[in-house]
Amino acid sequence: MKKGKLFIISGASGVGKSTVLSKVMDGRSDLQFSVSATTRPPRPGEQDGVNYYFVTNEAFEQMIREDAFLEYDAHNQCWYGTPAAQVEEKLQHGHVILDIEPVGAFNVQRKRPDATLIFIEAPSWEELERRLRGRGDTSEEQIAIRLERAKWEMEQKEKYHYVVVNDQADACADKILHIIAEKADME
């Protein structure tokens, strides 16, 4: 059977990535989401095995020793990693989307140069800041950390194959689906 294609999506905190991603996933039945392992605690509504595999530091470090990750990185004092076997397995059945930050994206690209890298960007810096503040669940200190990180992430966008602006979630998801269709149907 033909193997699926690998897509990597990155975007700074506050860019609206999860809404766009869920619309993208709804748009094609042959797309599968790669569920990462993380040591960060679940947020309300997040489910183990769906959003992430929520694991202990010990379990994560054991996976590192077993070379179980396609890539892994520390972010916000927590570990995040893409389980390699899961990606390979999913690629046998369709196309796979990874939602990972730029360090992880470039590490995967080194191992899988065929991966397509898509960067989701906010319409403007002011809008990103407004969206981050609008969440209401984030302290000023956290906002400052996230903005600093977002600035660095935005500087990485030149290294992505595609940059898609999220001024409207449906339109942004459609653009991503268009990119996926182009690549997925390519031999």
Q: Which residues bind ligand 5GP (CB under 6 A)?
A: 36, 40, 71, 73, 75, 80-82, 99-101, 103-104
> In angstroms, what is the minimal distance from the CB of 175 to ligand 5GP?
19
Between 26 and 46, CB nearer to ligand 5GP: 46
Please give the distance of CA 142 from its chain centroid, rounded to a whole number: 20
Identify the residue whose tokens are 């070379």. 67
> In angstroms, what is the minimal distance from the CB of 40 to ligand 5GP?
5
Between 40 and 161, CB nearer to ligand 5GP: 40
Task: Show Cβ contacts of residue 145 under 8 Å, excluding neighbours closer than 6 positions.
Answer: 76
> In angstroms, what is the minimal distance from the CB of 5 to ligand 5GP?
18
> In angstroms, what is the minimal distance from the CB of 181 to ligand 5GP?
23
CA dist 155 and 82 (Å) reads: 23
* 85: nearest Cα among 75, 96, 70, 100: 70
Between 73 and 129, CB nearer to ligand 5GP: 73
Sheet order of strands, 31-33 included:
31-33, 95-99, 6-11, 116-121, 162-165
Between 141 and 187, CB nearer to ligand 5GP: 141
> In angstroms, what is the minimal distance from the CB of 180 to ligand 5GP?
18
76 neighbors 88 (Cβ within 8 angstroms): no
| Ranges of H-type helices in 2-99 | 17-27, 57-65, 84-91
Between 4 and 81, CB nearer to ligand 5GP: 81
